[in-house]
Structure 1
């Protein structure tokens, strides 16, 4: 019989999903990158609503902002504000040859009746060293070519789907170690978002055949491949869902 999550644990999981931090986990290998025409990034500001289990709405929301800085680098940030947890997650990166080149990643979770969590990752591409700390434990290791961080790979995924790729694999540094995350576009669906029908490409995280967890994402090709919906189904059958509320692109 599967173990049920406590209400507090479920709400923490939802807060993590709002930030996107719970998408990472799994296997091994590096990604190959094809040379294609340059796809420019566009500044954007997005907001998402959240629900859990049987569509129960929560007073939780997430705001994601992508903006270019004066020095040419980009800043990608997620702010989560909910009654159970607040999350501040950010990434400074370069966008080169259709690739996210992470420079500095920061993550902070704090809330009511939960333990605070912090993570920092610094990427030294000149010396090929990645270092930082996770919940107080410091780490330093060799930086592999093409490595991404817990936020950067999410942006890379949407841009790769935009470029026409249908199977993606990313080497990701998280919690002081390397993971390999695999994704595939599996279907095309029409979603109703805020009373409007939107054509989407449905992607899923590829997991071991024995895994009962599902992570599904819907991207809108006619909307700059924005993430319109995210659904995670846990092994016990409980569901966590994000749906887009508002989007501003190219401001």
Structure 2
């Protein structure tokens, strides 16, 4: 098994929540409205690739005075720091992104920046990724690299069990698929949760696994994320603290 640890691996783990997708369609008119709740979450992170490393991530969701929402993530480790944020509207049980920003900085890695601006009036999206600017047609229901994570948990909360998402990242569209595959009881940091287990659906030949556990009794929070790489190494996030305003 390879023992070389990429200096970007731990920040990637700590931002692992960001691996989730974005829904294709708005909720139907007769679907029950789902209310968002302001929250503050903290996660412990570990990486096992011949060497065990630890870090932490904090995620905050809050509503602004104008009715829009601010979703942000702060990742801190000795390797690198990540600042990520999204301004969005919550309409018909759907995240409508307006402004996305991402910044990675550290001593051992190259700094990286990404920005995406959504113009829903003219159905255009523009921005830059690592200095390369882009502009293209905006697809109905498209999301950013952060908003689709929130959309996934809300879709599962609404009863969906198979999901197809479109997300804008690095100046192009990606399509991701997810499915709820099981119900499990698991212990995380001394607490026991009944959870819905979901996975990212990959090609049949892929040896990489991305697994997520959402707790219905905690407003469908992501309480555990596990990624297993083809060489057998594992990246894991587990929830340590959660405050939800209802």
Relative to the length of structure 1, the TM-score reads 0.92
| Residue number among 9, 24, 27 corresponding to 1:13 in the alignment | 9
CA positional deviation for 1:56: 6.7
| Residue number among 86, 92, 100 corresponding to 2:95 in the alignment | 100
Deviations for 1:161-206, whole angstroms, at most 9, x for unmatched residues?
A: 0000000111100000000111000001111022121100000001
2:65 is matched with which residue? 70
1:242 is matched with which residue? 237
Structure 2 SS opposite 1:103:
strand
Is 2:206 the partner of 1:211? yes
1:201 is matched with which residue? 196
Paired residue total = 244
2:24 is matched with which residue? 31
Structure 1 SS opposite 2:81:
strand
The structure 1 segments of at least 4 consecutive aligned residues displaced by more than 3 Å after TM superposition are 54-59
> Against the structure 1 CA distance between its residues 66 and 55, is the aligned structure 2 distance closer, same or farther, given a 3 Å change threshold?
farther
2:107 is matched with which residue? 112
> Against the structure 1 CA distance between its residues 54 and 191, is the aligned structure 2 distance closer, same or farther, given a 3 Å change threshold?
farther
- Cα distance in 2 for partners of 1:151, 1:194 equals 25
Deviations for 1:27-85, whole angstroms, at most 9, x for unmatched residues?
A: xxx82344111100000000000111279763410000000000000000000000001
- Cα distance in 2 for partners of 1:45, 1:228 equals 13
Q: How large is the RMSD of aligned CA atoms in angstroms?
A: 2.0
Is 2:143 the partner of 1:145? no
- Cα distance in 2 for partners of 1:55, 1:49 equals 19
Q: Structure 2 stretches of 5 or more lacking a match?
A: none
